[in-house]
Amino acid sequence: MSDDVRVVKNDSEQRYEAWVGDERAGFVDVDERDGVTVALHTETEPHFAGQGIGTALVGGMLEAVRERGDRIVSHCSFVTAYLERHADEFGDLRADG
């Protein structure tokens, strides 16, 4: 399933969204300022649970953070766990240690 996930930045809602076809499957609320993206909260729609949507979403968000040259701070347990599991790939993005 996660190969079918499209991650897009929704500036007006201050979030990154995961889309499967024409349906929003999940999102990460963020606060972006001064070169730092703060991940606040991640949600996946219940009928998409367990399909890798959250993993694809957070990975896509972190790739976008890297492309902008920003750093990441997580106040979201899901994003924090992802960063810990993928420290070799994304640990350099952490602004909070």
Task: Indicate the angle between helix axes 77-85 and 53-68, nearest 10 degrees.
Answer: 80
Average pLDDT value for residue range 46-65: 96
Going along the chain from its start, the domains and CATH numbers come out as 2-92 (3.40.630.30)
pTM score above 0.85? yes
DSSP annotation of 8:
E
The angle formed by the CA atoms of residues 39, 56 and 79, to the nearest 5 degrees, is 25
Average pLDDT value for residue range 43-66: 96
Residue 14 reports pLDDT greater than 90: yes
- CB atoms closer than 10 angstroms to residue 34: 6
Specify which residues 32 forms β-bridges with. Answer: 37
Start-to-end C-alpha separation, the chain:
32
Residue 22 reports pLDDT greater than 60: yes
